[in-house]
Structure formats: structure tokens, C-alpha cells
């Protein structure tokens, strides 16, 4: 089993990822940490506990993290996820309470335990990376427990929150820049599962309609149906769930290593991930910006059918 931690701002696609991570037999879901993003932090915590309850995983610790980005107000996305973040499905809310520790403290404790045991953990941030930035700068020793970070965010050349920037990075670009710099310094391998592949793992309404027979399958069906309704389409992507698929089945994802930066200014480009595809050393050596803090694996293609079948088989 692969030990994993998810960091989420639970909206509809985070819920797809949580169901997959909670129920797949090859993943050992150690913890889930919450951050403000798609909706406010209070709603994120309730949604996360609710999805884990539906998955039958009340044993997984869930912790509250940062309510706000490092330098700017939180920017919710009710037009994508509904007012409550779960598509206003009126699904029964969890009555459980989160772990008393702050998310950064829970991450520290679980990762240090992993470092001591030698069972290194894959961290999967599916949200603005505020919690992860705070962790790596406050407790850099916790990086000893990390096998890798596979994050959903960014893109090589497209955006959604703006024409340039993907939502998770745009919501807290300083945090993303801190995480990349820290990973470069601490030697943590990083994979970026961005918008270049994000939309390419669709579930059709017919496939969703065939899900049933358990609480988790019923929730999975409703998540796809509501996402299809919001986008007025006959299918919906599992979104963040694809990043979890990439951890379970990395052979379904094509990646290339590139230097990566985050744009922190610019009228039209704040939050953009700058993927440096240059190969000529002349340009690289004369660049006044110098070398980037991190070289990451950037997802360039995905076997969408393979990952869709993986998600369907698991949540079914």
C-alpha cells in the first residue's frame, strides 16, 4: 500500500479525489488537511468529513488549516462548486469534529512518524498550497517523511481562474512559490498535475448513472451529475481525482521535467506557472533571472480512459 495525505479545499472535484483515495485498496490514507479555497474553511471541513463518512472512512483524521492565503483574501468558486462546495446536493452533513491539531501540526506529526519508520508518504495537495508552505518553512525537518509531492495546480499554457492562471495557484501564488523553493532546497520530488491534463478524464452521465449500491457510489454518481449540470454537458471530469489516479497508476500519465516558477506580479499573469521549456544553454545561462528553485515533472498527457475506468471501478 502507498501511504498518502490529501490537502483539500473540498469542492466537487476534491470530493471525487477523496472518494478514490479513501476506497482504493492500494492507498493508505493517513490524514486529510483542509484549507480555504473553493469555499470557506468551515465548509471545507464539513464537506471533507461528509465525504469520508460516505466512503466509510471515519477513521481518517481531518484537520483545519489556513483559512486565508498568505497575502490576499480567499476567493471562493460557488459558480463551479455551488454555495456549499458540494453542488448544493443537500447530502447529509457529517456530525463529526476534526482533529484538535492544526493542519500543519498534523502534517508534521504524521510525516515525522513516517520518517522514523521509513514508510515515506506521498503528499497530494489539491488546493491552494498555504498549508504546505507553512509546513515546509515552519517544520522543514518534516520533509524527511516525504516520498514526493504530486499537486493539482498550474498549467503549461492555459488558465481557468484567469486567462493565465489556474485557480489553486492563483488563489495563493506566494504559497506555491514557497513550496517549489522549499522542495528544491530540501530535495523533495514534485509532479505538477495541471490543467493540461485536468479536463481529460471525463465520466459520462451514462457511466455515472450506472453507479449505485453503496453510499459512496451514490455520492459519486451525484457528484458527476451535478458537475455535468453546472457545465451543461453530457460528461464531467473527475478533476482533482486524476492526481490521485496518477499516484495509484503513474504509467497512465506522461510527464517531462521542466524548471518551474510562479508569477507573483503582472496585471494579467499573476498566479501563472511559468514552465521553462528552453533547451539551449546559451539562453539559459544569459537569463538575468538565474536558475529556477525547482525542476518538476510536468504532466503533458494522460490516458483518460484508463484513469476514468480506475475511478469508476474504485467508487463502485
| pLDDT tens-digit map of 115-169 | 999 999 999 999 999 999 999 999 999 999 999 999 999 999 899 999 999 999 9
Q: Cα dihedral angle (210, 211, 213, 217), rounded to 10 degrees?
A: -170
Comparing CA positions, the residue from 259, 257, 15, 30 lying closest to residue 122 is: 30
- Tell me: the pLDDT tens digits for 10-36? 999 999 999 999 999 999 999 999 999
- Provide the pLDDT for residue 18: 98
- Provide the pLDDT for residue 150: 98
Rounded to the nearest integer, the mean pLDDT of the chain is 95
What element of type H or E holds 45? helix 41-54
Backbone angles phi, psi at 88, to 5 degrees: 55, 40
Distance CA 315, CA 25 (A): 11
Q: What is the pTM of this model?
A: 0.96
Concatenating the DSSP letter of every residue in 242-266 gives HHHHHHH-GGGEEEEEEEEEE----
Q: Tell whether the model's pLDDT for residue 233 goes beyond 80.
A: yes
Share of residues in the chain with pLDDT > 70 (%): 99
What is the pLDDT averaged over residues 86-92?
Answer: 90
Distance CA 36, CA 26 (A): 29
Confirm if 4 and 28 have CB atoms less than 8 A apart: yes
- Provide the pLDDT for residue 280: 66
Assign 39 to helix, strand or coil. Answer: coil
**Cell 499573476, residue located:** 270
Question: Cα-atom radius of gyration of the chain, to the nearest Å?
Answer: 18
Enter the CATH code of domain 2-315.
Answer: 3.90.245.10
Assign 274 to helix, strand or coil. Answer: strand
Alpha helices in 204-257 (DSSP H): 205-209, 215-231, 241-248
- Tell me: the pLDDT tens digits for 169-185? 999 999 999 999 999 99
**What is the grid cell recorded at 137?**
518553512
Amino acid at each position: 500500500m502507498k501511504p498518502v495525505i490529501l490537502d483539500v479545499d473540498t469542492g466537487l472535484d476534491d470530493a471525487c479525489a477523496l472518494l478514490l483515495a479513501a476506497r482504493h485498496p492500494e492507498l493508505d490514507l493517513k490524514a486529510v488537511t483542509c484549507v480555504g479555497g473553493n469555499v470557506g474553511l468551515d465548509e471545507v471541513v464539513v464537506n471533507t468529513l461528509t465525504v469520508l463518512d460516505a466512503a466509510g472512512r471515519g477513521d481518517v483524521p481531518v484537520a483545519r488549516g489556513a483559512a486565508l492565503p498568505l497575502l490576499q483574501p480567499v476567493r471562493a468558486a460557488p459558480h463551479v462548486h455551488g454555495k456549499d462546495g458540494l453542488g448544493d446536493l443537500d447530502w447529509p452533513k457529517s456530525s463529526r469534529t476534526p482533529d484538535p491539531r492544526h493542519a500543519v501540526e498534523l502534517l508534521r506529526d504524521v510525516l515525522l512518524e513516517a520518517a522514523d519508520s521509513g514508510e515515506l508518504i506521498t503528499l497530494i495537495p489539491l488546493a491552494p498550497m498555504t498549508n504546505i508552505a507553512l509546513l515546509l518553512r515552519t517544520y522543514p525537518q518534516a520533509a524527511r517523511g516525504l516520498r514526493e509531492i504530486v499537486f493539482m495546480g498550474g498549467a503549461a499554457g492555459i488558465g481557468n481562474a484567469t486567462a493565465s492562471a489556474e485557480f489553486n495557484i492563483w488563489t495563493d501564488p506566494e504559497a506555491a512559490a514557497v513550496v517549489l523553493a522549499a522542495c528544491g532546497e530540501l530535495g523533495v520530488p514534485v509532479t505538477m498535475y495541471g490543467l493540461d491534463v485536468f479536463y481529460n478524464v471525463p465520466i459520462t452521465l451514462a457511466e455515472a448513472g450506472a453507479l449505485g449500491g453503496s453510499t459512496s457510489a451514490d455520492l459519486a454518481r451525484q457528484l458527476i451529475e451535478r458537475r455535468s449540470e453546472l457545465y451543461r454537458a453530457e460528461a464531467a471530469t473527475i478533476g482533482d481525482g486524476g492526481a490521485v489516479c496518477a499516484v495509484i497508476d503513474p504509467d497512465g500519465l506522461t510527464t517531462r521535467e521542466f524548471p518551474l516558477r510562479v508569477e507573483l506580479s503582472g496585471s494579467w499573469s499573476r498566479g501563472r506557472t511559468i514552465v521553462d521549456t528552453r533547451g539551449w544553454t546559451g539562453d539559459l545561462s544569459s537569463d538575468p533571472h538565474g536558475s529556477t528553485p525547482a525542476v518538476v515533472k510536468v504532466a503533458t498527457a494522460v490516458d483518460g480512459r484508463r484513469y476514468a475506468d480506475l475511478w469508476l471501478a474504485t467508487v463502485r
